[in-house]
Amino acid sequence: MKTEKPQSNAMLKRAHTNMPMGVADSYRYWGEDNTVFLSSMKGCTITDCDDQTFVDFRLAYGPIILGYRDERVDNEVINAITNVGTISGFSTGLDSDVVELVKSLCPNIDKMRFANSGTEAVIGAVRTARGFTKRNKIVVVEGGFHGLHDEVMWKSDVDNWDDSTEKSPEIIPFGAGIPQSTREHQVSVPLNDITAIDAVFAEHGDDIAAVLIEPIMGNCGSIASTQDYMQKLRDVCDTNGSLLIMDEVKTGFRVAKGGAQELYGIYADLTTYAKAMGNGYPVAAFGGRAKVMDTISFDKGGVTHGGTYTANMVALSAAKATLTLLKETDALATIASVGKKIQTVLSRVFTKFGIEHCFAGPDAMFGVHFGSEVPQNYRDWKQTNSDLYTQFAMNLIDNGLMLEPDSREPWFICEAHKTMDLNWLEQVAEQSMAAAIKAQ
């Protein structure tokens, strides 16, 4: 970022004495000059500690679905804290209130359990799948992201892959501290490759507990499964006695009231939710078919699930308020409409500069790819001009529009974006693209 940021620089200097990398989450570190420290958030904007305000399309990686500090949600949380409390270690009727709301939106859910993050929800779903099937292996898709627990912290190294060969990308850990043994029961396949799925089930079918997939990859530019591919996964899981787990941590209650499964009309045995479920409050869940979920029990051979902070009043009151608004209002239709208008503006700018481009995924969380064709998997993303995108994105940030400067991250839209000035967006996008091209 070109703007001088004395307060941010001072904040980072102080934070380095208190936290590794000077941040509470490694992904918040953007370098010594660009790491962002905020002072406030409201609607679709964020303001940093140097008083620069940004229109935000990052939205905390997707949880903000209505807008920051939405009073309709916050007031319900305040009411719960004031009149009930925050946590007790016991149950309340709010548990079933939220589950029944989810069930009214998502026909794939019979029963559900809560968690505190998407990572926890995935851990619970995978453990339940293994407990139900009495099998070990989990099939995952290249480019998918399923949280920060060791077993799913293995990725295809597409960044360093030589795509001129027929050799597959190397599978590497996210970083140090992840034992090689955690790879033992994970098998990786490219998205939308039916031949690869057939090969994996032919080789490992007797021990495949589940296929774990983001139908629309929220950490890979919203590259989406085809309808045929999702049907293939449903069919092969049914034939093989494996479970289909759809990770809807990012797509759930965002791309449709019933999530990605509503768009495909294909339903999972188990589903994970988080992010938009609570408009920024830390709530998550996993659930699915009653017969599968009832594997969670104290019976011999049953699956154990728990958590001290699970189903706390703050999280569930936020979830109840958010889900009620998404169910009873046209918020998601508004979000999709705004997302479509933003893509139209961006496309006009890219066309003006002769930039081949395409959009991937739903309007509420679309990916931008500089290339002639929509990528069909993570390996295809390698063919896009991601360097130009990163320069364009950094220029947007300089001009007051916040997003993740990596084309693997979508543009997230919230209801509050309906108030933004599209003419301003077009002007900023033109300035940012002109500067990006000049810098090449």
- Same fold: 37-69+330-439 with 71-328: no
Q: Which residue do the tokens 């609607």 mark? A: 43
* Max CA distance (Å), the chain: 66
Residue 38 backbone dihedrals phi, psi, to 5 degrees: -100, 155
Q: Is 429 helix (H, G, I), strand (E, B) or coil?
A: helix
Q: From residue 215, how far is each of 91, 114, 233, 383 by CA, in Å? A: 33, 21, 11, 21
What is this structure's pTM?
0.97
Q: What is the CATH number of domain 71-328?
A: 3.40.640.10
Q: Please write the tens of the pLDDT for every residue from 1-38.
A: 456 899 999 999 999 999 999 999 999 999 999 999 99
Which of 262, 239, 243 has its CA nearest to residue 252?
262
Taking residues 270-295, report their average pLDDT.
98
Which of 60, 79, 61 has its CA nearest to residue 321?
79
H-state helical runs in 290-404: 290-293, 313-328, 331-352, 378-381, 386-398
Q: Which residues pair with 270 in a beta bridge?
A: 245, 288
> How far is residue 20 CA from its own chain's centroid?
25
Percent of the chain with pLDDT strictly greater than 70: 99
Q: Which token pair is 10?
A: 């001072």
Give pLDDT, residue 1: 45
Domain ranges of the chain: 37-69+330-439, 71-328
Domain 37-69+330-439 CATH superfamily:
Aspartate Aminotransferase, domain 1 (3.90.1150.10)
Q: Concatenate the DSSP letters of all residues of 91-129 into one string.
A: --HHHHHHHHHHHHH-TT-SEEEEESSHHHHHHHHHHHH
**Which residues, 6+ apart, have CB-to-CB distance to 14 below 8 Å?**
none
Q: Please write the tens of the pLDDT for every residue from 230-268.
A: 999 999 999 999 999 999 999 999 999 999 999 999 999
Q: Please write the tens of the pLDDT for every residue from 182-237.
A: 999 999 999 999 999 999 999 999 999 999 999 999 999 999 999 999 999 999 99
Give the count of beta carbons closer than 10 Å to the beta carbon of residue 88. Answer: 11
Indicate if the pLDDT at residue 384 is higher than 50: yes
